[in-house]
Structure 1
């Protein structure tokens, strides 16, 4: 615990690093055995989706990294898992990093966003990325990105609506809904969203913010019916609830799906469970599977990942689409 006290960290907490915590990253590498795992919510989803798909290099991920060792680690990890990584590089800023500290199976997360905060729309306007955007079948984005480059989010969302491509979006965190400055950006994007993902806390939060109450079935119905640009696609709302039933509202109907049960003693890490669910869903959805199969695929992915260490992909995917 001396190490935790040194950096003013608390067990089970997740924080953004302040100046006093920035030296932690070099110290953990110098003094401890470190596992490097590509992270970030959308990158987790991209890697899980690719893991479940039969053909490699069918998923492209973009974000912003620095020009450093950590960026190279990310590139190599994505290449190994079959994900195409087309990063925007900010050579003046270090790649974002999250120190995951474990003490008696309890985890503390300390994150320095670094270059992840510096993505620019100009990257999407390059000939290479324009080609990728045009050829993309669907788009998946996580709400955290709305704090960085909302104009980039709108560019992709508008393209999806114009070309009748699916745009999938994860609400990501209550603060993006509770803070008016960020929620105005989210509200501008939501009309372009075809499939919305949220956990129970995020769902209750948007229900409260929009004046719909906190009954998740009601919130799902209201959100599904909310303003929409592409009328060729109805909006589907997916609310996960951990070990409880996943709520899915689409085409005027609410359905519930039971996750795969897992004994507590087999749970290694719940971090990225939601990201993994979305990865499994995206993989099945990209294969044109029925919604029930997409949910089943998401439950399988989450079930497998939480038995691993920090979103480490299992060697084999035994799910059949």
Structure 2
């Protein structure tokens, strides 16, 4: 088995997606194109989708990035940590990760069910109903378990989602400190606009450790607003992120902000305080081939991380992200085509 290359700390969720109808939406009080956190009235949705709507189940949440990176790497290169339950949903999630070649080391919490995201597809609309459940129960003690920590020490690159700031900040900081101490790469993804809006204090601490800060334009602007910055310029926001304090002085910080169909922006700190801003065109996909854009950001992050693992240039890493996102949006859910495709560099 090859050495572990990439560790992903994030929230494991089982995506349960099916084509539904207006009757199903009304039954659970869902809107056709919305994303909500599940309440008691929604808990029957997940079994309903499986039993009555021929649902597809696939490891979701943070596993989207892990599976995406693994798609472009040798088997067992990626190591995924989070919390699930010892239930049928947890077993399905673990099996889905293993099928994709991702190694998992999950904390098991018997008191709550595995986190799930029900996806009801009606036409081009997606209604997402998420129950975080066990995903919220990760503990730093699991990370520091000698067997797990040995795997952490053996892994070359650490990737953390912003969502985990809502779960276990001590675990995030343990990885961040290890990255600085051993001069390993630490990647942080904003994940959602509410992370800088609501979790600004722990975010500010964690960003000091980040060698790579990634996110989309909405998340970047949410961070800028949380810092009382009025600029709407993505390039300027990237510069502001570059200038944040940094723990590991051996590595210059790099910021990458995706913008959907618009060019991806990268900002690279240089010696002498110079900051290099570059626009990277995305790969175009004909509209009639696009099935689902919900997982595009996760696919991009997975491809980008795979490039870092392989020691590619920044341009190549971003292009690998664009390539995987291009494939992903032609599938339903955060899925990738099989038989496995081989990366083809952009001609731009």
TM bucket (normalised to shorter chain) is over 0.9
> 1: CA distance between counterparts of 2:88 and 2:23?
28
State which of 65, 69, 75 in structure 2 corresponds to 1:49. 69
**Which residue in 2 is equivalent to 1:253?**
276
Maintained 8 Å contact 1:205/1:214: no
Task: Kindly state the Cα deviation for residue 3 of structure 1 after the two structures are TM-superposed.
Answer: 1.5
Maintained 8 Å contact 2:200/2:226: no
1:289-304 equivalence runs, <5 A:
289-304=312-327
Query: What TM-score results when the alignment is normalised by the length of structure 1?
Result: 0.97
**Which residue in 1 is equivalent to 2:4?**
none
> 1: CA distance between counterparts of 2:76 and 2:51?
34
> 2: CA distance between counterparts of 1:262 and 1:20?
38
1:126-145 equivalence runs, <5 A:
126-145=145-164
Maintained 8 Å contact 1:47/1:83: yes
> 2: CA distance between counterparts of 1:276 and 1:192?
24
State which of 198, 213, 228 in structure 2 corresponds to 1:211. 228
C-alpha distance after superposition, 1:103-133 (max 9, x if no partner): 1121100011110000000111111111111
Q: Structure 1: state its 5+ residue gaps.
A: none
**Which residue in 2 is equivalent to 1:38?**
59
Structure 1 stretches of 4+ with a deviation exceeding 4 A read none
Which structure carries more helix by proportion?
Answer: 1
> 1: CA distance between counterparts of 2:131 and 2:71?
27
Maintained 8 Å contact 2:63/2:97: no
3-state SS of 1:57 partner: coil
> 1: CA distance between counterparts of 2:141 and 2:63?
20
Task: Kindly state the Cα deviation for residue 60 of structure 1 after the two structures are TM-superposed.
Answer: 0.3
**Count of residue pairs brought into register by the alignment:** 317
Q: Structure 2: state its 5+ residue gaps.
A: 1-21, 270-274
Task: Kindly state the Cα deviation for residue 211 of structure 1 after the two structures are TM-superposed.
Answer: 2.8
State which of 259, 262, 268 in structure 2 corresponds to 1:241. 259
Structural RMSD (CA): 1.0
3-state SS of 2:60 partner: coil
2:213 corresponds to 1:196: yes
Maintained 8 Å contact 1:52/1:319: yes
3-state SS of 1:39 partner: strand
> 1: CA distance between counterparts of 2:99 and 2:147?
22
**Which residue in 2 is equivalent to 1:99?**
118
State which of 269, 280, 285 in structure 1 corresponds to 2:308. 285
Which structure carries more strand by proportion?
Answer: 2
Query: What TM-score results when the alignment is normalised by the length of structure 2?
Result: 0.89
**Which residue in 2 is equivalent to 1:172?**
191
**Which residue in 2 is equivalent to 1:12?**
33
1:49-198 equivalence runs, <5 A:
49-53=69-73, 55-179=74-198, 182-198=199-215
1:255-270 equivalence runs, <5 A:
255-270=278-293
Task: Kindly state the Cα deviation for residue 265 of structure 1 after the two structures are TM-superposed.
Answer: 1.1
Task: Kindly state the Cα deviation for residue 214 of structure 1 after the two structures are TM-superposed.
Answer: 2.0
**Which residue in 2 is equivalent to 1:274?**
297
> 1: CA distance between counterparts of 2:67 and 2:50?
24
3-state SS of 2:187 partner: strand
C-alpha distance after superposition, 1:134-172 (max 9, x if no partner): 111010011001000001000000100111101001101
> 2: CA distance between counterparts of 1:183 and 1:177?
5
3-state SS of 2:25 partner: helix
State which of 299, 310, 319 in structure 1 corresponds to 2:333. 310
